[in-house]
Structure 1
Amino acid sequence: MELKEYAISDIASLKYGKMLAKTKFTDKGHPVFSGYRVTGYTSEYLYENPEVIVVARGVGGTGDVKISPPKSWITNLSIVLSVDTKLVDKFYFKELLHAEKLKSKLDSGASISQITINSLESYKVKLPDLSFQKSVREVLIKYDNLIENNNRRIAILENMAQSLYREWFVNFRYANHQDNLDADGNPKLIDSPLGQIPEGWQIVALEELCNKITDGSHKSPKSVDVGVPMASVKDMHDFGINVSKCRQISYEDYEDLKRQDSVVKANDILVAKDGSYLKHTFVVEKELEMALLSSIAIIRPNEKVKPHWLAYCLRSPLVKERMKNYVSGAAIPRIILKDFRKFNLFIPPQELMDEWNSIVEGMVKQCWNLVSRNENLKQQRDMLLPKLISGQIELKD
């Protein structure tokens, strides 16, 4: 297979996205895409078709390569690469640049990582002919479709679990709630510091439900090429840690952190503590050989509460709203642990919590399984790509 070398400027025009004024954001419309994610909507769009973008700067994502949504407004955090479609398949090009690990080669930032148009324009890539690019795309899209199907199943299960929590513990329509109705058919509620709650429920401080409430290491060991993952809040997702995105620290530093107990055990709850606090809160499936930075809080529930119940409680919108009074910091809001320990929650009777947990625990386990499948699919896909590009694996018509 013949490969031809091009400077990126030979096969694409490059342009920064455009900042959107706050007054232009709307509740619905065309997606506003930062390169990291869709950050809102607007009535206008800059690009009708999906475009290849490179994240130009920011925290944690510089050098990421993605395809923008159709009819979207792309912001100035990203560089838009409008490719010559007679030479380049967009999807293939996105995968090729992703495999190049651009941040490690083109990052010119000092305190904040950044990639510029100048450095990207002169960067050289080798491309096969267009028909081969499209053949590779078709193979990779099959993997992406499997991953997306699993993501849809995860979203359905997560929505079911959240709806069940809301129905039982916000609307108080739990199993056999008819036994606790007044003469008018309304739930029998009593006044509490957190508002009205059913009779027999309790108000307790978070620290009464936990053996441990702490955060990760306040020391940030230097990175190494091969070692143990060290996660920060940016590496979290709804059911775990994106281990592949974590930086690595030495085994010696990890053992030192273990002695300080800054490691994670099964059934701990990890909480996004800094930045978008409570954005991610989940139960740890199994003990991990991993260290955490202080942007993540570690909660170790005791026998008074089920870990999954407590995690969904902390994720509920009502708790997130109350948590606004327990954070400090303007630029980067963060939960203060000494206040977090005193944070009050209401808890239902044990048998009701156990009944809810028996339903939801199975849903969470299915989500864990689907997340694991996706991780395996992504690994297979990433291993396959360079072999397809190099011709080690031949594509049959």
Structure 2
Amino acid sequence: MSERKPFKLGSVVELKYGKDHKHIPDGTIPIYGSGGLMRFGNRVLYDEESILIPRKGTLNNIMYKREPFWTVDTMFYTKINTRLVFPKYLYYHLTTIDYNNLNVGSAVPSLTVQVLNDIDIILPPIDEQTAIAEVLSSIDDKINLLYSNTKSLETMAEVIFRQWFVEDAENLSNKQLTMSDIIDSVSLTYKFNSETAVFLNTSDIYKGEVLVHSLRDASTLPGQAKKSIAKGDILFSEIRPANGRWAYIDFDSANYVVSTKLMVLRLKGEIDSSFVYFYLTHPKTVEYLQMLAESRSGTFPQITYDQIKGLKVNIPSDQILTETIEWCKSAITKICFNYRQLRKLEKLKAVLLPKLLSGELKINEFAEV
């Protein structure tokens, strides 16, 4: 068994303060604050491997950086003693800490050098640290690739729909369809045939993905758990469209019940629901729906199906429509697959991370991910 030794964080890193960035001209060097990337400048504060730790603000937003960077005064950067610790291993170790529990601020969450230096860490030999970091990094690489692929597909959809069906299409098309020609808002009551069901509220979906799949005791569900859904449906929140609370259902959803605050949009024509999904979630469409929501008097900015069904889709030609529908089918299949793979990898990482760091799972017994 490898020997694992206790250290204080202050014995393996030197915490350094960030500096003001306002005087720095624009450039290509990333400038980070506790909230993340702020802008790009032409000055470098540090150009070696480093872990960035928030000093004020979003305390758990730990970052690992290998490229030259600048940090502002809300973010510490670190000079790492690489004789004692492998930087990426230390990064993973530090992500397991809830820094809100170390908060010394009142109005603004804050961390100090003294508090951070006193953090206890356990380090195995450097070669074992390296091997553990490589395993976790391989999972992160797969996760990042899936996110990148998904983002590329979504960006392609934005370009395609802007060119052919949203903005420029008005100058190219003599034909229009309205959403009422294509979809209905359905409100079929869910039949509780078992003691459990998956309940989806507005917060349980986000920009295409269903975030919750766990069964709950049906007797504990809120009163708004009423609507049934089916494969191919689009869920779209009535409240604040700009918040991105929408999802495409690409799975058997017989045991799912959704909130009355979610519109269930179901295809009624020949145009595929994936086409409708990309049209409704296009930034220009969302911007328009948000404007309608904010113009409504009430507690929350809210839309209704009557406003969605009146949306007009410009059709430049039947051929372009057919080709786009085929692309949409393929794209939504890939996006939904990516989301499922992402969740599996994130769950795998969540299981492996504490076990590898604690030594419960030995790296030499671990098969390649």
TM-score calculated relative to the size of structure 1: 0.67
Amino acid of the residue matched to residue 9 of structure 2?
I
Residue in structure 1 matched with residue 111 of structure 2 by the alignment: 116
SS in 2 for 1:342: helix
Contact 2:186 2:266 in 1 (8 A): yes
Matched with 1:200 is 175
Distance 1:81 1:93 in 2: 11
Once residues 293 and 34 of structure 1 are traced to their aligned partners in structure 2, the CA distance between those partners, rounded to angstroms, is 39
Aligned to 2:242, the other structure's residue is in SS state coil
* Cα-to-partner distance string for 1:160-180 (whole Å, 9 max, x where unaligned): 43343334314768xxxxxxx
CA deviations on 1:81-131 (whole Å, 9 max, x unpaired) are 33322222111011112223444x33456677x341243332212112222
Q: Return the letter of the residue paired with 1:43.
A: N
2:265 pairs with 1:300: yes
**Partners of 2:337 and 2:222 in 1: CA distance:** 32
Aligned-pair identity (%): 15
- Aligned-residue Cα RMSD (Å) equals 4.5
Output one character per residue of 1:251-292: Cα deviation in whole Å (capped at 9) or x when no partner. 68960155366x987523346965x92567542434486988
What is the 5 A alignment of 1:198-277? 198-202=173-177, 210-211=184-185, 238-240=207-209, 255-259=221-225, 267-270=233-236, 277=242
- Secondary structure at 2:221 match in 1: helix
Q: Which amino acid aligns with 1:198?
A: S
> How far 1:18 sits from its partner (Å)?
4.3
Map of 2:278 onto structure 1:
312
Choose the corresponding residue for 1:154, options 131, 146, 150.
Answer: 150
Counterparts of 1:324 and 1:374 in 2: how far apart (Å)? Answer: 29
Q: Deviations over 1:215-273 (max 9, x none)?
A: xxxxxxxxxxxxx998876x8764425669xxx9x968960155366x98752334696
Check conservation: 1:35, 1:68, Cα contact below 8 A. Answer: no
Which consecutive residues of structure 2, in runs of 5 or more, have no partner in the other structure?
Answer: 188-197
2:64 and 2:91 in contact (8 A); partners too: yes
**Equivalent pair of 1:326/1:335 in contact (CA under 8 Å):** no
Q: Does 1:10 align with 2:7?
A: no
- Are the structure 2 counterparts of residues 135 and 232 from structure 1 closer, same or farther at C-alpha, using a change threshold of 3 Å? farther
Shift of 1:392: 3.3
Selected match of 1:357 from 321, 325, 329: 325
Q: Letter of the aligned partner of 1:370 in structure 2?
A: N
2:160 aligned residue: 164
Going from structure 1 to structure 2, the CA distance change for 1:124 and 1:264 (only over 3 Å counts) comes to farther
Aligned-pair CA distance for 1:212: 6.7
Q: Measured at CA, do residues 154 and 324 of structure 1 come closer, stay the same or move farther in structure 2, by a change above 3 Å?
A: closer
> Contact conserved, 1:30 with 1:45, CA < 8 A, in 2?
yes
Query: Is the Cα–Cα contact under 8 Å of residues 51 and 78 in structure 2 kept in the other structure?
Result: yes
May I ask how many residue pairs the two structures share in their alignment? Answer: 344
